Each structure stands twice: as C-alpha cells, then as structure tokens.
Amino acid sequence: MAGLTLPTPLLRMLPIAGVILFWWAMASSGAVRPFLLPSPIVVAERILADVASGTVFVNVGYTLYRALTGFAIAAAIGTTIGLLMVVSRTAKWFFDPIVSVGYPMPKISLLPIFILWFGLDDASKIAMIAAGCIFVITANAYAGASGVERQFVWSAQMLGASRLRVLTDVVLPAATPQILTGYQIAIPVSLIITLVTEMIMGGDGLGGQLLIASRYANSPAVFASIVEIAIAGAIVVNGMRLLRRKLLHWHEENAVSTD
C-alpha cells in the first residue's frame, strides 16, 4: 500500500502549524502569564474583530501602498542606474562610489533628513523606503548586466545592432534573473522599512497599529498586529515569487522539477 503523500502547499504549512501548536501549548500550560503570551484563540478573535470592523484592510492598504510605491520608485531608478553602469563608463565612474558607500550604510539614519524635507506625511516614508531598496536593486542589476556573456554582445554588434538594441534585446533579457533576484531581496526590505517608519512616525498602517497597541499594553492586539504583518508579508513575498516564475517561464530554473 502506497504511503499517503500530502500536497506541497500542505507540507509547507506544517512548520507553521507546529509553531502555532507549540504557542497554544505554552499559553495553556500556565508557565507564561497570558499578558506576556496570549492564547492563539484570543489573538484569532482579535484578528476576526479587526476584519469585521474593516480596520485590518485599511491598515494593510496603507502599509502596502507605501511599501510598493517606494519599491516601484527604487526598482525604476535602481535598474536604470545598474544597466547604465554597464554600458557607460561615465555612469560607472559616477555611480560606483555612491553605491559602494550607500549599500552598507544603515538607511534608517536618513529618516530625519527626509522628515525635514518632506514632513511627517507619506512622502517622507516613501522616500525612506525607496532609499532603503535602491542600492540592492542597483547592485543586482549591475551584476546581472555585467555578467552577460560577451559573445552574445559581440554577435549582436557584428549584426549591426545599435547600443540601445544590444541593451534592450541582449543585455536586459540575460540580466533579468539577477534583476528579479534584487527585487525579491528588496521587497521584504521595503516592508520592514515601512513598518519601522510607521512605528516611529505614527499614523495609519500596520506599524502604527502595532505602536498604539504596545502603548496601551494591549497584548492580544500586539500579537494580532504581528500575525497580520506576517500574513501581509507572506502574500507580497510569494506574489513576487510567482511573478518571477511567470516572467522567467523560459529560463532553465523553471525547467527543473522541485518535487
């Protein structure tokens, strides 16, 4: 008799189910006070209350709007700079030192400057998110474009392709996997920076909701906010993974079985 094989999505959920089961066991054992570790049931009830009131949708909407807007700005600028650094010596001379210095720098240190420039509204938060994502996207775009086989470029040039056609028809498709890797790294970074800025500056959003819950020492609301943040993050990260798979349907990485 063949053994029972669970579908892959269910197998991926088993570790999460294990964590929730351990959480419930610890909360029910009495070893930890309910204030420090509320039961998953209590937290689930709070999440359902947020869903019923519509609060969760408003906060998720604000957070994703800021995160995805900042990410989109960084993706457009960072990808362009990374590609320009490969095709233009002047661009590489200008941007390479900036990227080298800016990449390892803690970007959150720029937040006071953005607050001075843009105030306490969404503009400063989005600027902070874009600044936090742009360097990793630029670095990956440059690495992908500079790693393209020279034979492909030379063949296109021998056939009379202009520099622009070589960039759009040869370099960009070949560099796309590495560029998308940069996007996959930057997406969770954008969410992290969004939550940090919301917690520092307040206002609507999941980070602001978490801040308010912690100020009032509302333990179930704190844990509910954390779960909501985790769910929103998982949706965005997996959405980017599916987008990568769709865009790279022709690539060898999608031809390998992952059973």
Q: Which CATH number covers residue 227?
A: 1.10.3720.10
Q: Let me know if residue 28 belongs to a domain.
A: no
The pLDDT of residue 229 is above 60: yes
Q: Let me know if residue 203 belongs to a domain.
A: yes
Q: Which domain holds residue 167?
A: 41-248
Q: Looking at residue 128, what is its pLDDT?
A: 94
Q: Let me know if residue 17 belongs to a domain.
A: no
Letter string b/e over residues 226-254, b meaning 16 or more CB atoms within 10 A of that residue's CB: ebbbeebbeebeeebeeebeeeeeeeeee
**Digit-coded pLDDT (tens) for 162-171:** 667 777 777 7
Q: Let me know if residue 50 belongs to a domain.
A: yes
pLDDT higher at 188 or 157: 188
Q: At 258, is the pLDDT very low, low, confident or very high (cuts 50, 70, 90)?
A: very low
Q: Let me know if residue 90 belongs to a domain.
A: yes
Q: Let me know if residue 32 belongs to a domain.
A: no
Q: Let me know if residue 258 belongs to a domain.
A: no
Q: Provide the number of structural domains found in the chain.
A: 1
The pLDDT of residue 97 is above 70: yes
Q: Let me know if residue 10 belongs to a domain.
A: no
**Digit-coded pLDDT (tens) for 128-145:** 999 999 999 999 999 988
The candidate with the shortest Cα–Cα distance to 142, out of 218, 225, 211, 81, is 81
Q: Looking at residue 254, what is its pLDDT?
A: 67
**Digit-coded pLDDT (tens) for 167-220:** 777 777 888 889 999 999 999 999 999 999 999 887 889 999 999 998 888 999
